[in-house]
Amino acid sequence: MKQHTHTRKGGVRVLLMALLLSLIAACSSAPSAEQTAQQEPQVQTVVVTAEIEPLIATVEVTSTPAPAAAEGATTEADTSAEVSTFGPDYTGPFSTPHPILSNLQVRRAIAHCTNRLELIESVYPYLEDGQKEGLLINTFLTSDHWAYPGDANITLYPFEPEQGNALLEEAGWTQEAPGEVRVNEAGEPLSLKFLSTDATFRQTWAAVLEQQLLQNCGIQIIRTHAPGSFVFGQSTGLNRRDFELAAFAWVGDADPKGSTLYSCDQIPLPVNNWEGQNYMGWCNEEASRAIIAANNALDREVRAEQYGIVQRAFTEDMVSLPLFNRLAVEAISNNVQGFRVDPTEYYFSNIEEWTLADGGEELVVAMTQEPDTLFTYVNASASAVNLSYPINTISATSYDYDFQAKDLTQLPTIENGSATLIEVEVQEGDIVWSLSAEAVELAPGVEIQNADGEIITYEGGPMLMSQLTVTFEYNEGITWEDGEPLKQADFELGYRIGCDPDLGRVSYAVCESYEDVEFLDDRSYTITYRPGALWSLYSVFTLPFFPSHQVLADGRNLADVPAVEWASLPEIAEQPLSTGPYRLVAWEKGQRIIYEANPNYYRGEPAIKRITVVFIPDANQAVAQLLTGNVDVIGNQDLSGPEVEQVLQAASNGDIQAFTVASPTWEHLDMNLFIR
């Protein structure tokens, strides 16, 4: 394989592969997830690894004249929209356009007839008006996200029932009197089945939505609230597209991702074994190309441009109505200082900066959920990752829907020279990264992406592909709690164990995309990916490291223990050696975890010397202990029910501090465009 040494920045690199981003939590300690469906009360993570060929046919629906727009805002375009799915000869399930929802005017009417602020009021009545408005969301990204294109570049749907009624009239749905269900020319009612979970939270706002749509516009919805096991089941509910309207939540983070949600080849169908999360059956060709391009481009500006294309189409076609972000609340005593509130980062991420106003050295944190292990390779739950922060080196943080270097000297990028993208010559027999997201031997018939970003089927002979190389460098002085400095052998051990098939990880896709890993010294290494493997999150795909010098209680050296045993090692699962600001000194299962300040922390020993995390399953009891002074901190992961109002009232009285923020979890209403 020959290298062409000139470098190339950015460019749209289109790879048809599902990005398996559950790896960030293990690789960089920053929270991660593909936007994932949320059950009650926990988030259900769905990772889709299969892709199918785009299946295309077209159903034309007409639009309506654009109403008057607010200055700087975009409303409905006066052009026809297309909703596509399947192939032109496909006649199986879901090949028939939905008799109501395939009409763009109806979908837009639903959006205009929905008073989202009133929905927020129904579940968060104690919030001030400004706080409620701060929870509104217009696309699948928040307005402060780096990839949000701005209100002027998307279609907005303010609460305008007059506009909604006009759209319905033009679509042929008439109404004899306000509040009555509209009917079409055949006398059939404008009635839609609504599916969601049986969580009290969602039943509350859905009941309000039902009344709104009927009273405002004559749209009837018939609600079914089923257990999460049905809504998110492998062979029921969403995964079988067994709904007309469906309400649930996605969880966003610093990287938008979304390829499994909005690309044409991710529509669940019997013919593709129900793979994908594009439950609406939405296939906008331009948006589909853009979402794939955005997930595989390396240049931030290019990615933002492509995500802008997707959001423009997403809002124009109105196949899924974003409703509001969930509320996140942090509650802490008035004595705690330095606590950082953020929607996309765990609250322990800056724990070394916390102090107590009275000069005290002990602090108590309450958590409602206790993990079974701190080995996040096998348990990447929010509680496990958060509890691992005090004892870990954190390569990068993910504050404010973006990434920042913490224990790395910098995030490696093509722009700053720590990463390079070169063209290499490949030929038959070389190992490359294929469009099916696999390391394969290049042979005729293999689909790849060439150096120009073109998707081709290899036919033989030499050709050029792009190859990514990334160098990571950690800050000087990182030391294990026993005083042993971080060294090259620790990274070598992390690489060997982290990519060992016997470890039991969900996916090894990133490991398999490595062509070479070169360890440069005790704090830096270089990863060279296989030609064609262009991960959009390359700057945070770090290697783990483990204490290669550690001697276990059974007398073995950690470096000699096979990967298959690691998950059950107490020194890994329950009391791992620390390089962070604290060291774990005791874990009394079912009761508490105790941390003490790490005297060998390379940034200096933190001011708070002892932190106790107590596990209190009942959030109301946790709040009661906060108000009596027995607890100092309760994070947003543990405050989501009626106790939130009590916390905010106590804060308004000056008894505690409480911070509200729009959670990255957002409620939305999906519209199924086809019927069986």
Average pLDDT of the segment spanning 498-508: 90
| CATH at residue 273 | 3.10.105.10
- pLDDT of 31 > 90? The answer is no
Note down the domain range covering 439. 2-17+408-477+482-540
**Do residues 234 and 145 both lie within one domain?**
yes
Q: Tell me, what CATH number does 393's domain have?
A: 3.40.190.10
Domain membership of residue 225 (yes or no) is: yes
Q: pLDDT value at position 436?
A: 80
The answer to whether residues 649 and 514 belong to one domain is: no
Indicate if 364 and 461 belong to the same structural domain. Answer: no
Say what the pLDDT of residue 160 is: 98
In terms of domains, do 161 and 203 share one?
Answer: yes
Token look-up 């026809």 returns: 80
User: What integer pLDDT is reported at residue 15 of this predicted model?
Assistant: 30
Residues 218, 97 within the same domain: yes
343 and 437 housed in the same domain = no
Segment 250-263, tens digit of pLDDT: 998 899 999 899 99
pLDDT tens by residue, 335-393: 999 999 999 999 999 999 999 999 999 999 999 999 999 999 888 889 999 999 999 99
Tokens representing residue 37 in the block = 């469906």
Question: Which 3 state secondary structure label does DSSP give 447?
Answer: strand
The pLDDT value given to residue 506: 77
What pLDDT shows up at residue 35?
39
**Has residue 163 been placed in a domain?**
yes
pLDDT for the residue 293: 86
Do residue 529 and residue 632 come from a single domain?
no
Q: Is residue 27 part of a domain?
A: no
pLDDT digits (tens, 9 = 90+) for 9-26: 333 222 333 333 333 333
> What pLDDT score was predicted for residue 322?
98
- 424 & 370 share domain: no
Q: Are residues 318 and 351 in the same domain?
A: no
Q: Is the pLDDT of residue 28 over 80?
A: no
pLDDT digits (tens, 9 = 90+) for 381-437: 899 999 999 999 999 999 999 999 999 999 999 999 999 999 999 999 999 999 888
Measured in degrees and rounded to the nearest 5, phi and psi for residue 555 equal: 95, -10
pLDDT tens, 36-71?
Answer: 444 333 222 222 222 222 222 222 222 222 223 333
In a shared domain, residues 513 and 606: no
List the 362-367 sheet strands across, edge first.
Answer: 220-226, 191-197, 245-251, 657-671, 320-332, 633-634, 362-367, 610-615, 592-597, 582-588
Res. 586 pLDDT band, cuts 50 70 90: very high
Asked if the structure places residue 553 within a domain, the reply is: no
Domain count, the chain: 3
Residue-level pLDDT at 610: 98
Q: What is the mean pLDDT of the chain?
A: 87
Answer whether residue 23 is part of any domain: no
pLDDT of amino acid 83: 45
pLDDT tens for residues 105-155?
Answer: 999 999 999 999 999 999 999 999 999 999 999 999 999 999 999 999 999
Cα diameter, the chain: 83
**pLDDT at res. 507:** 83
CB atoms within 10 A of CB 3: 10
Give me the pLDDT at residue 379, please: 84
Residues 417 and 395 in one domain: no
Percent of the chain with pLDDT over 90: 80
Q: Are residues 384 and 444 in the same domain?
A: no
Q: Taking residues 547-564, what's their average pLDDT? A: 97
Q: Which of 254, 498, 478 is nearest to 375 (CA)?
A: 498
**pLDDT tens for residues 68-113?**
333 333 333 333 334 444 555 556 788 899 999 999 999 999 999 9
